[in-house]
Amino acid sequence: MIIKLFPQRRDETLSVFRAGNVLTVNGEVFDFASMPEGSTLPQAAISSIWFDGDVDMHDGELTLTLLLPNPWNYSQEQAFPVPLVNVPNGLVKLPQPLPTDPPFESAEPLPVPIPAPGVINWSLLVTAEMKAAVLAAEQLAEAKAELVTKNLKAVTQIARIQDRIDTLGYGIDAGEATEEDEAEQGALLVNLKAWKTYKFALGKVTVQPTWYAAPVWPVEPVAPVIVADPQTVAADLI
């Protein structure tokens, strides 16, 4: 068990007793023994002022944070507490304040408080399976968004290249095209094929064994510079 301590100036005292994954905190018993591996119990699920943060079960070890009250004569160890690791069963040794005058001892012994069950809302428990499901949903949404973006870019490039090829073809058919026009069309036909091949490859990404956690994206072709492209002309005018 790992117990982290969050210091706060308070006049109350803190008593913690460990019995396995059961903690008795100032007389309230909090049983975390039923937490499965990889799960997280949010702070909101624990009805106690002494818990500060979530409770995690990782690699069979419970990790939690407790509020550490610092009295007026708090020590450096209380002000800057280090995490308690490998906490043994029994009374947990917490940082102590600076020494003061001996406290007044009552002639009659104080009554021993009876431990009361602490309130834990187990419906808020986040299991490892729930964490994995959330992560998978986020990965799927991210992969889908990236695929849509890449497909849209491919469609746009294919359309603009095809439009230029058609335009040059009109000049060739009319006998008005120059050798440079014909050379440009030939280069664009090669580039168009590359973009169509790329678009086809995008359609197979979702059947990859690694989809959607680690998709292998096809290499995007180079977008050709088309001087007469309406989009390029419009951009130059902005």
Residue spans of the domains in the chain: they are 2-126, 132-237
pLDDT at 203: 96
**For the whole model, what pTM was predicted?**
0.66
pLDDT at 100: 79
Angle value at C-alpha 106, between 103 and 109, nearest 5 degrees: 120
pLDDT at 116: 86
Whether the Cβ atoms of residue 117 and residue 29 lie closer than 8 Å to each other: yes
pLDDT at 237: 47
Mind listing the pLDDT tens digit of every residue in the chain (238 residues)? 999 999 999 999 999 999 999 999 999 999 999 999 999 999 999 999 999 999 999 999 999 999 999 999 999 999 999 999 999 999 999 999 998 765 555 556 666 667 888 999 999 999 999 999 999 999 999 999 999 999 999 999 999 999 999 999 999 999 999 999 999 999 999 999 999 999 999 999 999 999 999 999 999 999 999 987 766 555 554 5
